[in-house]
Structures are given as C-alpha cells and as structure tokens.
Chain A
Amino acid sequence: MTLEISSHFVDAILNQSRAEYPNEACGVIVGPIGSGRALRMKPMINAAQSPVFYEFAAMDLLGLYREIDDRDEEIVVIYHSHPGSEAYPSHTDIAYAGEPGAHYVLVSTRAEIAPVTEFRSFRIIDGAIIEESVAITD
C-alpha cells in the first residue's frame, strides 16, 4: 500500500503541527467515495488541547460525517502530530483507530530532531499496524 498525497497537504499538515505545538494537531483529508484519493483537507480542532492526546469534538465529528455524506465523500487520511515522540502509532492510537479504510498519518515535531520532522503513514486494522510508503505528488 502507498499513500499518495499532494505536497501542499504535506506542507499544510506540518505547518499546522508546528503552529499547534506543544499540543497535538489533527485533521482529515477526504475524497470521493471509493476513489481512495486524498483531495480535500479539513484541519480539525483538538478538543483535548493536549500534548499527549487528540480528539475531535463530538459535534465537530458529527458535522464532518454529515458534510462528507452529503458530498459523497469519505475519510481517506486521518492525521495527527506527536509533539514529543516519534511518528509511530501509540497504544492509544491503536485503541481508538476506528476507520479501517483510512491512512493514519503521523507527524513528529519533537524538539530533539527539529527542524527536521517525520511524516509517516500507517494502516491500523484490528490492532495491527502496517506502515506504508508515502508518495508525495505536486
């Protein structure tokens, strides 16, 4: 499996992650149902406002699903940042992973590697983590 993602979205996710440091940043990229294409980015508010947890607010979550339902879209990418650890799914990430069809993108903005960042993509299905390659397009 490979995640194909526009460099604009990669830049936007990294910028959002830096802006929300030291808290976790989060959001989704959606695309037409069945296409698997990440075409429309929607940054979300981290209701937890925490460096070690992120969560979409309940009403934001409902609004997101209503909107993409109306537009015949689905969630293609769920992204969030790790401000203090590597870009790899935590136990909490695995416990909460509820979209088996989504690419889970993790970004690390931890201080030890700054200004370098990590950008990695995973599938998380039934508790198993499968890393996939990332193909950055124009």
Chain B
Amino acid sequence: MSIEVRIPTIMRPFTKDQKVVTATGATLSAAITDLDNQYPGIGDRLLENGVLRRFINVYVNDEDVRFSGALDTALKSGDSITILPAVAGG
C-alpha cells in the first residue's frame, strides 16, 4: 500500500526538501497520520482541531477532497495525493 504525496514548497522543510514522498493509509486521515509519523510537524500544518485547515487544498487523484469525504476519503495503493496552499487573501 503506497500512496504518492506531492508536497508544496512551504512544507518541504518538513520533508528535507523532498517534493514527492510516500505514505500509507486506507483513508486520507490515516495517510496524514503516517506522514506526520515520518515527518513530525507536518500534520499540524494540514490539520486544525481535527479537520483540514481552511487555507490548505488537498486533492486525491486530482479531485478536491472537500467533495469526496474530506479526511474520510478512501485511499488505495497507487493513489496520488497533492497538497497545495490556497492562493487567497483579502
């Protein structure tokens, strides 16, 4: 069970500058837990009070997870997660 995770520039200090890492997990939530075990601190950049942060966009196989169950989004081997910071402001 291996899932490719694309890491945005702003989070690469956690992954020793790696742009693409791998994680395991049957759901997005489990994959983030695994990521945080491998790269401590990255989980906190993705989650706040147990939900995805508002200013982070997460896609599984190019689909916005807000429309596929958010943290409950099911994952299978070969899936790809992309994390992008929102480009937004006031």
Contacts and interface: CB of A to CB of B under 8 A. Distances in A.
A59 interface: yes
Interface stretch (A12-20, A93-101, A107-115): A93-101
Nearest to B67: A58
Interface in B36-90: 55, 57, 59, 62, 64, 66, 82, 84-90
A93 B90 contact: yes
Contact of A98 (B62, B66, B85, B90): B85
Contacts, number: 68
Interface size class of A (residues with CB under 8 A): 20 to 34
Given A61-B57, A98-B55, A55 B88 contact: yes
Say what secondary structure dominates the interface of chain A: mixed
Given A92-B90, A96-B87, A99-B9, 12 more contacts: A53-B88, A56-B87, A61-B57, A61-B86, A62-B62, A62-B84, A80-B89, A91-B90, A95-B55, A96-B86, A98-B87, A100-B9
Contact of A58 (B10, B66, B89, B90): B66
A26 B57 CA distance: 18
Interface in A109-132: none
A78 interface: yes
A48 to B, nearest CB: 8
Nearest to A82: B90
B86 A55 contact: yes
9 contacts: A28-B87, A53-B88, A55-B86, A56-B88, A58-B57, A62-B57, A96-B87, A99-B9, A99-B10
Contacts of A97: 89
B25 interface: no
A12 to B, nearest CB: 18
B47 to A, nearest CB: 16
Q: Point out which of B10, B86, B89 has the most chain A C-beta atoms below 10 A from its C-beta.
A: B89
Given A62-B59, A98-B10, A99-B10, A90 B90 contact: yes
Nearest to B10: A98
Nearest to A74: B9
